[in-house]
Amino acid sequence: MNSFQDELAEIARLTDDALDRLIPAGDGPEAQVLSAMRYSALAGGKRIRPLLVIASADLFNVSRTSSERVAAAVEMVHAYSLVHDDLPAMDNDDLRRGRPTCHMEFDEATAILAGDGLLTLAFEVLAGDETHSLGEIRAELALELARAIGAHGMVGGQMLDLMAADHELDVHEITRLQRMKTGALISYSCQAGAILGKAAENQRHMLAAYAHDLGLAFQIIDDLLDVEGDAEEMGKRTGKDGQAGKATFVSLLGPERAREQANILADQAIKHLEIFAEKGDLLGDLAEFVVRRRK
Amino acid sequence: MNSFQDELAEIARLTDDALDRLIPAGDGPEAQVLSAMRYSALAGGKRIRPLLVIASADLFNVSRTSSERVAAAVEMVHAYSLVHDDLPAMDNDDLRRGRPTCHMEFDEATAILAGDGLLTLAFEVLAGDETHSLGEIRAELALELARAIGAHGMVGGQMLDLMAADHELDVHEITRLQRMKTGALISYSCQAGAILGKAAENQRHMLAAYAHDLGLAFQIIDDLLDVEGDAEEMGKRTGKDGQAGKATFVSLLGPERAREQANILADQAIKHLEIFAEKGDLLGDLAEFVVRRRK
């Protein structure tokens, strides 16, 4: 048995339980938006961001009651971003994690509202009393999430991605796009653990450096899997960047150099964990998993 | 000179200044989403919600630096809800405040992202240090906003409204729909003033009762103006509820009883302000304005 795989499965289960509790099925006609929120947030997925939150918080012995709520909030944000990105006016995707996307299963209006509802609920969870006894911590969790995912973060990254259809990006521009579009929420996941754990300045710094390298490695492998992966195994349409003529790390560097780069970044990420000694093992295992994964 | 009109104009100006500072035009390709956010948030409008925030906070002598930020955040949320509601998949409106709606001026993808960006920025502003020195207060502001505008509040209300095309609503159902769709954010605006001002329980209670009655009066007059109003003066398409076959307070009660009901609610709203003595005059004047307005 691979103990990292067990740990990842356990955290996926905890995250699902938390999401199930935090998004209760409703009654009345508004139940439709709650169904669509549950459909999108409880659709499986690797739960890498929840693992980052919980493993980072574990470094500082934060109670799991706190870190599981924050992990669920981060996963809600991830689900909202997928629901909106999949819309016909955006990337127009029909399939996600092997199932119809939210607007295909429900309709476009419901998908827009489900995304809005998930984003809003994430802030409700972070700011809620049960997340942490100190208002200071709850406010910082909400503030840093908003910074990570707004027009200067994830939302801006998706805008860049849409605009990129019009002109060729170079490696510098692709890196910036990915830092905003996927890197910012990955970084926040680690930062949230540090906020909950009232980490010291150098600890925050090392965790941020880890998240930075991990986020880029994750994206490079994502691009590789989009080229090399199998749609059935991936549970989503593959080869779409190439079809859209979009520059990616792989189209710019070639698959071999791209994979080499991802491995270097994962090694670097692991080095940043040295100050945490064996407590950093789970985050280190995750960095290895990210570059080895097949989907 | 009407001093209430002066006050409303002054608060609109302060809100515009705050929004202009808080949504700086960007550079780089993500500038497009920031332009669309500015376009939608700085489009004028009556600024009734900012007035509610500031006037409620004034009851407790809260510094205007705090209440103006919260007022701007509430207006961002209002703007986001209009941008998403106007989308083709939702109400499909071309005109708003006399100008093309966001997706007509930009495109659908940009409008979806601009809404997402405004919603996110609202939480960033509320949770930011400059809003209040106490983390407890900042977290409560974020928490109560999220409760008001999520699937059990504004987002749920818009879902109800979309579902209402399929069956006739009665007065009870219409009232519930409007409490969620427009009432919840109006109530939050007053509640935010009470949170900033650390209001006592009975003060919060009276402000909530005022906001409840004001919100319903506001919606009834909105429905009346949709029937009787002039599209040019209103700056948006009118008569659309009737065309869509939607039940409203006016279609259910008739215009005369609807107006009577709005007047009764405004009077009730004003009565709830008695405990604040002359400090409540601005909120009282607003209740009168809401039922007398022509657009």
Report pLDDT digits (tens) over B23-36: 999 888 789 999 99
Separation between Cα atoms, residue A35 and residue A25, nearest integer Å: 6
Residues 7-36 of B with CB under 8 A from A: 26, 28-30, 32-34
Percent of chain B scoring above 90 in pLDDT: 82
Tell me how far apart the alpha carbons of residues A170 and A176 are, in angstroms, rounded to a whole number.
10
- 3-state SS record for B136-152: HHHHHHHHHHHHHHCCC
Distance from CA of A138 to the nearest CA of B (A): 6
Residue A197 DSSP code: T
List Cβ neighbours of B119 (8 Å cut-off, separation of 6 or more).
Answer: A116, A119, A120, B76, B77, B80
Q: In the predicted model, is pLDDT for residue A100 greater than 50?
A: yes
Whether the predicted pLDDT of B164 surpasses 70: yes
ipTM: 0.95
Average pLDDT, chain A: 93
**Which of B82, B155, B169 has the highest number of chain A CBs within 10 A, making it the mutation to test binding with A?**
B155
Which among B165, B175, B170 has a CA at the least distance from the CA of B245?
B165
The pLDDT of residue A248 is: 86
| B74-110 pLDDT per residue, tens | 999 999 999 999 999 999 999 998 899 999 999 999 9
Residue A23 scores a pLDDT above 70: yes
Superfamily of domain A3-292: Farnesyl Diphosphate Synthase (1.10.600.10)
Nearest to B158 among A108, A113, A157 (CB): A113
Q: What is the mean pLDDT of residues A167-189?
A: 93
- CB proximity under 8 Å: B 151-170 to A: 151-152, 155-160, 162-164
Rounded-to-10 torsion of CA A9, A11, A17, A18:
-160
Q: Do A124 and B143 touch (CB under 8 A)?
A: yes
Looking at chain B, the whole-number percentage of residues with pLDDT higher than 70 is 94
Buried b (16+ CB within 10 A) or exposed e, B91-116: bebeebeebebbbbbbebbbbbbbbb
Q: Where are the beta strands (DSSP E) in A35-153?
A: 95-96, 99-100
Task: List pLDDT tens digits, range A191-233.
Answer: 999 999 999 999 999 999 999 999 999 999 999 998 887 656 6
Q: pTM (2 decimals)?
A: 0.96
DSSP state of B269: H
